[in-house]
Chain A
Amino acid sequence: MHEQDLEQRIRTAVEHAAPDPLEQILAACGPQSGNVIPLTPPKAKKRRWVPMAVAAALVILACGGFSVYSWRAAKTVASVVSLDVNPSIQLQVNQKERILSAQPLNEDAQIILEGMDLQGTQLQVAVNAIMGSLLQHGYLDSLSSAILISVEDSDAQRASRLEAELTGEVDAALQNASAGAAVLSQVVGYDAALETQAQASGISVGKAAMVQSIQAIAPDLSFEDLAALSVEELKQLLETGAPGLPIGTSAAADAALAYAGLVASNAITWEVDPELDERTPHYEVELHTQQGEFDYIVDAWTGEVLRGAAGLSADVSGSSGSSGSASASSGISQDDATAIALADAGIQRASALGLRVSSDWDDGHHIYEVEFRSGGAEYEYDILASDGTILKAEREDDGWRLPAAAGTSTASFIGEDAAAQAALRHAGVTASAAQSLLCQVEYDDGLAECYEVTFQTSGARYAYEIGLYDGSVLKSERTAVRSSTGGTGANSGTGTSSSSGGTSSAGVSSGGSTLISAEQAQTTAFRHAGIDADDVYELDCELERDDGSTYYSLEFKAGRMEYDYEIDAYTGAVLSVEQDRDD
């Protein structure tokens, strides 16, 4: 019997045994003792921003009355700034960088701008106020959220200056609120067709440009469908080559609610985090009910609930979710793990934004996953709970720009040697200590993206992505090489069960149940790819075990495409998809 089942049994037994003397208690409640000190009701979210938002709003009110301009230039739109999270807001700005109009482009944005009169205020003050409102509404807290700043201006110099200034402004606001959102910024050239399309879909030109670049790599996805997604979803699609159209956050929430057997009501709130860049692209849905919090993992393409507690009845109190905390073993604490990760990254705790530590199992080892954002990069660490060893250290730059125009010549690239050196320097590894050093230009859909540098030392494997032109480190990954005494991949029972979800997950957890057949896995993959089994050739299908999960790995070709699928051998869920043109 697993830990969760044991605990579940204890809960049930105690709940059944507990008497219910509420009436006697209420009857015995006399007048309260006199020393009642009023409590400040707890705050649901970080509200450190409120005073600043109010201050900014006051400034706006004060300025609003004096925004009378006699000269024409004041009324001419010089630049258009848009801010997209999911709320999309478009600001028209004159030469003096004062707001001519602030337009909410969707319903979410109307709520954000409610009660604000931004007309005539300085652009930076306005952006500050908007950031205050966004933070207050909880849009930018999580690590996987993103805000896109776009500047459209005929004066290229002014555009990039504004871009830099606003990015600084937004960064500072996030820093103040310890919010973990990524900041993306871009300068957009004027494009009349794009503007029309953006207007028709109720999104900003900036977001439309992002949609357009996704369509460039995934032409079968429609503009409308993509426009409905949030900036974070779009960013993740861009990073992963947009293998499909995700179902969207509200559909994910609906799926989780339906699976939980709950109907949307005022008593239930939820948060949805897209994780389209994980190996199994999914949405994390957190349902907040009166009985507590319940987490669900929803497949990003199919909407299938992969993990979570099903059928929450009315009396679930106390029987909610499973324990995610450390069990059995002693060792370092979450705080220790955080300190180790921060020290390795050379980052102060105060500058680690959106810090999140979770407890997990990997190959039968209890680990802590520490994630945070700092200085425009996202960090992810796996720390061994028993002794604090860093198993994995990953740093990924947020640096995101619209894909460079096609036909860029490779002449100005820094060259493979320089790229390799940049990676080695960053890793603090000498050329002689680096084994199996490989460096090559990584192409995506025919466009050069970066240098990919990989090498190994006696203790770790390294993988780097290095900027083509400046040798900047876009992404770094270090994985500790484990001694052969480590896990063999077959997890101990407690290990796997601790990381799997809700205690009453109905048959979706990968424990105990039977495997689907290879044929079933194939059918799933073909259906997912939208191809007929008759068109498939060079099929290779293997059952594999890795990191405690069991899946079918399928490679096949159809038409002029090559497909790579991983299908969960227990649930049939599509774990990962790769498709490439078969050249």
Chain B
Amino acid sequence: MFCMTLPAPSTGDAAALDVCLARIADGDKDALSQLYAHTRPSVYGFALSILKNAHDAEDVLQDTYLQIWSAAGRYRAQGKPMAWILSIVRNLSLDRLRAQSHTEPLVPEDWQDRFAHTPAVTEEDRMALQALLSALGDEERQIVILHALTGLKHREIAAVLQLPLPTVLSKYSRALKKLQLAWKEAERHA
């Protein structure tokens, strides 16, 4: 059989990110810009998938890079820079959720409306985002977004989310089926 396995989508290869982090630790802002360019969608997507609120996700996006800037010196190059960055995103997002749970009740956000005024977001994008929000459970959404955007393997995703691997695998496959259905449905109405 003629077959060949391609590497997972990568937001820049691990070694390059490791180099960026080393330079950031030395106070190199260009390196931070470079890291940002490689990881912005992953960081934002993951924050959004946890927070379900675009405004909060944007805040976490900014906080994440500020934290990377100040904490890069504590990062140990182990070839897992993405997992390290994502753990920062996760912690910041969970902190924010915890803080909010004391003050304001979470109002579910409609992503269709939320992104209606963002020019880069197409009608199809809005549909995709809304399906992610409404059709999937929290963990399912986080798993799918991490898999689609970060290039992490299921095993690594399991580590980031602190879930057992079989859970990640089964939730991932269920989530894809749900998305498929939701998109078909949305397309029929469109």
Q: A18-B45, A25-B62 are in contact. Are A10 and B144 (CB under 8 A)?
A: yes
B96 within 8 Å of A by Cβ? no
Known contacts A25-B66, A32-B73: does B11 contact A19 (CB below 8 Å)? no
Majority SS at the chain A contact face: loop
**Chain B residues with a Cβ under 8 A of chain A:** 1-13, 15-16, 18-19, 21-22, 25-27, 29, 32-33, 36-38, 40-42, 44-45, 48, 54, 58, 61-62, 65-66, 69-77, 79, 115, 118, 120-122, 124-126, 128-129, 132, 144-145, 147-149, 151, 153-155, 165-166, 169-170, 172-173, 176, 179-180, 183
Q: How far is the CA of A39 from the CA of B74 in the complex (A)?
A: 9
Provide the bound-state CA to CA distance between A16 and B155, in Å: 28
A483 sits at the interface (CB 8 A): no
* A549 touching B40 in the complex, CB below 8 Å, given contacts A10-B149, A26-B32: no
Query: Out of B6, B33, B58, B70, which one reaches A26, CB within 8 Å?
Result: B33
Q: Is the pair B8, A17 in contact by a Cβ cutoff of 8 Å? A: no
**Known A-B contacts A11-B41, A40-B77; A319 and B9 likewise in contact (beta carbons under 8 Å):** yes
* A90 on interface, CB distance cutoff 8 Å: no
Tell whether, in the assembled complex, residue B42 and residue A318 are in contact, meaning their CB atoms are under 8 Å apart.
yes
Known: A7-B148, A39-B25. A317 touches B11 (CB 8 A): yes
Q: Which residues of B contact A14 (CB under 8 A)?
A: 41, 44-45, 48, 129, 145, 148-149
Q: Is the CB of B70 within 8 A of A28?
A: no
Query: Which secondary structure dominates chain B's binding surface?
Result: helix
With contacts A18-B41, A329-B173, A330-B170 taken as known, whether A39 is within 8 angstroms of B77 at the C-beta atoms is yes
Contact B8 A323 (CB under 8 A): yes
B155 near A333: Cβ-Cβ < 8 Å: yes
Supposing A9-B124, A16-B121, A25-B62 touch, asked if A317 and B2 sit within 8 A by C-beta, the answer is no
B33–A22 touching, CB < 8 Å: yes
- Which of A160-168, A173-181, A356-364, A461-469 contacts the other chain? A356-364
Q: Total interface residues on A, using CB and 8 Å?
A: 77
Complex: how many Å from CA A360 to CA B120? 36
- A292 within 8 Å of B (CB atoms): yes
A-B contact count (CB 8 A): 225
Take A318-B9, A323-B9, A330-B170 as given contacts and tell me if A279 and B147 are in contact as well, using a CB distance cutoff of 8 Å.
no
Query: Which residue of the partner chain B has the closest CB to A290?
Result: B12
- 12 cross-chain CB contacts under 8 A: A7-B147, A17-B44, A17-B48, A26-B32, A28-B66, A33-B73, A317-B12, A318-B149, A320-B9, A321-B8, A323-B9, A361-B3
A25 to B63, CA, bound (A): 8
- Of chain B, the residue at the smallest CB distance from A505 is B6
A42 to B38, CA, bound (A): 18
Q: Which A residues are in CB contact (< 8 Å) with B62?
A: 21, 24-25, 28
Contact call A575/B2, Cβ cutoff below 8 A: yes
- Tell me, in angstroms, the Cα distance from A11 to B79 when the chains sit together: 23
Does any Cβ of B come within 8 Å of A303's Cβ?
no
Q: How far is the CB of B35 from chain A (nearest CB, A)?
A: 11
Determine the distance from Cα of A33 to Cα of B173 in the docked complex, in whole angstroms: 42
In the complex with contacts A501-B4, A501-B6, A317-B32 CB distance below 8 A: no
Q: Nearest 6 pairs between A and B by C-beta?
A: A324-B5, A36-B73, A328-B173, A358-B5, A18-B44, A7-B148
For B41, B126, B183, the residue with the greatest tally of chain A CB atoms inside 10 Å of its CB is B41
Most B CB within 10 A of own CB, among A17, A20, A38, A40 = A17
Residue of A nearest to B42 (CB): A318
Is A12 on the interface with B (CB-CB < 8 A)?
yes
